[in-house]
Structure 1
Amino acid sequence: MKGLSGRHALVTGGGRGIGAAVASALTAAGARVTVTGRKDAPLKELVEAGGAAGYAIADVTDPLALGEAVKEAVAERGPVEVLVANAGAAETALFSRADPAVFQRMFDVNTMGVVHSVQSVLGPMTEAGFGRIVAVASTAGLKGYRYTSAYCAAKHAVIGLVRSLALETARSGITVNAVCPGFTDTDMVAESVSRIVAKTGMTAEQAEAELVRDNPQGRLVTPEEVADAVLWLCGADAASITGQAIAVAGGEVM
């Protein structure tokens, strides 16, 4: 991928699923990738497999810990030039049963996690006159889904953040975009399938079919398909693409 060779890329939530696929794609394109996450084992495994150059333990809801992780990565691999703010989590609940704590948890990790990640790298990017920032949001940031009001609210906030930040950085050499995957073949979706099975008595196949019913292709998105969209946004040929929320969802209507 033109424009990525030798650049330092930071991927939050990089130990599994979309984050690991993004890290591997960036590495294959020549970037020097640092992955962060809360658990040592999957990050170490990814580095050992050649999917990233290094890793640091950090929870994106803790700005101090994340800041220290970024400092460590910068000391080892230079200034962060590409940020993929991927870390996130989902909880499901009927709105009437979703207490304020559910909304706070979803906002803390899905929205403030992006805020903290961007704030940790934006200053040096601005000084250097170059940067690529991609937030991994969700189709839940573009439309509503039943039983996920807290998650949808947090992901909608990410899209608003991306659009505002893109305007503020438009003349600085920095682009800010979001990719919005539909239901993707990750551990998070597997956990959702398990919950549906436990609550409804459906088979796993029936539960998965329920999740993908709005996807005209009738299947789960793959992490690699999301990673390919991220890779394009980070490349040199996407310099005029900023403030966008790109759905990777098989044609699902937003």
Structure 2
Amino acid sequence: MPTPLTHPLAGRHALVTGGGSGIGAAVARQLVAAGAKVTVMGRRQDVLDALVATLPDQFHAVVADVADATQVTAAFASARNRFGPVQILINNAGQATSAPILKTDEALWQQMLAVNLTGTFLCSQAALPDMLQAGWGRVVNMASTAGLTGYAYVSAYCAAKHGVIGLTRALALEVAKKGITVNAVCPGYTDTDLLSDSIDNVMQKTGRSSVAARAGFAAGNPQGQLVQPLEVADTVLWLCGTGASAVTGQSIPVCGGEIMS
């Protein structure tokens, strides 16, 4: 019979945005392994369905754009209908598009803010009533090392992720006495499809090979390697457990020492 030690999140319902692939899927799998029921939210039905098919009793899929308040409301209603109140929220959905500042038009600027920052706000707002009622909750926002420092050619993305960290700190203080923790995880360059798109972009603009472009991203990591999704997921899982109950308002780098805080 499962014990709290082997299934510490048994009875908890977690919702993971951007949960169909990459870091989001790794987080979703770790949460299920810890005993949680998990709703995965994303924009691609086929990707979500593929994950749900692996454990249909533990996963639920809902299609939504996190930057659309109406869609977020409907998504949370579907999640509650399937697994009950949401007690763990992983704000993982995000996009990263690069451009020099003088070529960053308003549409790109607004898109980076909408997906990375507004989506985090809307989903947090949707989840909090359940957590407040339960007197327990975990919010983990997927920021980035770009939320802790600056990177050239991604000003809009950096601004959005800095905003996520500011939101994390403010919300953590607001709910600190309510049994709810709010933290940010800040991965460095991670081996996901999002990075693959960046590698393709470097190849197209510079003519460098895939191997060279990939090595360029890994070079900033003192360990000389890309972060793996499971390494990020393990950090998220720890923040969701009882052992991290006194950890709130923090921004935790997972980047091989690139950023030290």
Q: How does 1:92-131 map to 2 (within 5 A)?
A: 92-131=98-137
Partners of 2:226 and 2:63 in 1: CA distance? 29
Cα deviation for residue 50 of structure 1 reads 2.2
Does the CA contact (< 8 Å) of 2:232 and 2:254 recur in 1? yes
Instruction: Look up the equivalent residue of 1:153 and give its one-letter code.
Output: A
8 Å contact from structure 1 (residues 13, 87) kept in 2: yes
Q: 1:232 deviation in Å? A: 0.1
Deviations, residues 76-109 of structure 1 (Å, cap 9, x unaligned): 1010000000000010000111112211110000
Match of 2:17 in 1: 12
Distance in 1 between residues matched to 2:163 and 2:180, nearest whole Å: 20
Q: 3-state DSSP class of the match of 1:122?
A: helix
One-letter amino acid of the counterpart of residue 167, structure 2: L
Q: Deviations 1:110-159 (Å, cap 9, x if unpaired)? A: 00010011011101211211000000110000000111000000000000
TM-score (norm 2): 0.95
Whether the 8 Å contact between 1:74 and 1:80 is mirrored in structure 2 is: yes
Deviations 1:206-233 (A, max 9, x none): 1111112210011110000000000000
State the match for 1:157 in structure 2: 163
Shift of 1:63: 1.1
Within the alignment, does 1:236 sit opposite 2:242 as a pair? yes
Post-superposition offset of 1:2 = 5.9
Return 5+ residue gaps in structure 1 as ranges.
Answer: none
- The structural deviation recorded for 1:3 is 3.6
* Off by >2 Å, runs of 4+ in structure 1: none
Unpaired stretches in structure 2, ≥5 consecutive residues: 1-5
Q: Contact 1:2–1:237 at 8 Å: present in 2 too?
A: no
Q: Specify the alignment match of 1:29 in structure 2.
A: 34
Aligned to 1:189: 195
Q: Distance in 2 between matches of 1:212 and 1:168?
A: 37
Instruction: Give RMSD over aligned pairs.
Output: 1.1
Distance 1:2 1:30, change over 3 A: closer
Q: Distance in 2 between matches of 1:77 and 1:55?
A: 11
Alignment match, 1:90: 96
- C-alpha distance in structure 2 between counterparts of 1:215 and 1:87, whole Å: 23
What corresponds to 2:3 in structure 1? none
Separation (CA, whole Å) in 2 of partners of 1:186 and 1:92 = 17
Tell me which residue corresponds to 2:175. Answer: 169
What corresponds to 1:179 in structure 2?
Answer: 185
Range 152-161 or range 60-69, more displaced: 60-69
Q: Is 1:142–2:143 an aligned residue pair?
A: no
Is 1:11–1:19's contact at 8 Å kept on the other side of the alignment? yes
Please state how far the C-alpha of 1:75 moved relative to its aligned partner: 1.2
Selected match of 1:212 from 211, 218, 224: 218
Q: How many residues align?
A: 254
Q: Distance in 1 between matches of 2:44 and 2:234?
A: 25
